[in-house]
Amino acid sequence: MRYTEVRMSKLAHELLADIDKETVDFGPNYDESETEPLVMPARVPNLLVNGQTGIAVGMATNIPPHNLSEVVDACVALIDNPETTIAQLMQIIPGPDFPTAAIINGAQEIAQAYVTGRGRIYTRARTNIEEDDKGRQTIVVTELPYQVNKARLIERIAELVREKVIEGIAPDGLRDESDKDGMRIVMELKRGEIADVILNNLYKHTPMESVFGINMVALHEGQPKLFGLKEMLELFLRHRREVVTRRTIFDLRKARERAHILEGLTVALANIDEVIAAIKASPSAAEAKVALMRRLWRSGSVPELLVRAGSVSARVDHLPAEFGMVEGGIACRKSKRRRFWKCDCNG
């Protein structure tokens, strides 16, 4: 496969956290040459935080980005009180958080989108009106609506000025003063012009005022579905509970397998002289293995360790009952996965 190496950001690592612990299901990739995760473990609700835009056959999705801290706080609120309402969630998440900032007009449209999963929100560029010593006003744009291209916007304004659709901007008064400190589009007005009137014309004829159509469609159990804000948060929390449960089961199994090996080493230490003697008396490694597995061994401190750990907490999964602690000592078996003898000394 191509593109197998990328340098991920710290937050991107959280999307893949614990993926090596069987927390999610894997399926074949496009040519079935490898397997890939069907869904990411995702410690953060990335679908809401990062947003998503996509078009498929007969359906589309357009989810706006949101503030990470607000979304996480909303998840915590739902954990503390599953009966939290949309109105209460909107006290935590008042609306989308676009990376280009700007101004969202109308909270009612946001509420409708969060309840039904569909809605239209109107965003406007953030502007300031400055006045120079000669009394001329200047419109300064510092923030643009989401997905509005600055260069194309300036070209559009210049075109409208040339065509005299928008009058009042000085012929050489439109310029881009953006720098490392932020964006700054400057429009110097002719003497006597009213900035608010020109601003209204700019909102009408340019993307300085835009509409973002919210359509929160996502796949759930392989089926596309329209979600409201609360339902999307609840599904994320359900996903995280499943991930944490599967991770805990994986860690427990690995801990039991490690404890199984350590118990075998404890038995070997308790019988170190006999073990060494049996190995030395055997002409080959294969016969040494048979000799070590033929007899019962003193359990040493294993019973005490098992009592402290719990009766089944350290017993390997699928271990037959006849192996491990038996009357008179420890019963050993041949390991199918390792090339050396092992004592099954779990009680």
Positions marked active-site? 3
Strand order across the 209-215 sheet:
52-56, 59-63, 209-215, 118-124, 103-105
> What number of helices (H) and strands (E) belong to the chain?
11, 16
Helix axis angle for 107-116 and 229-270, nearest 10°, is: 50
Give me the phi and psi of 54, to 5 degrees please. Answer: -165, 155
Token pair of 133, please?
């010593």
DSSP code for 214: E
Token pair of 113, please?
């989108």
For the chain, the distance separating the N- and C-terminal CA atoms, rounded to the nearest angstrom, is 47
Distance of alpha carbon 93 from alpha carbon 72, whole angstroms: 10
Give me the phi and psi of 224, to 5 degrees please. Answer: -70, 140
Token pair of 60, please?
């589309």
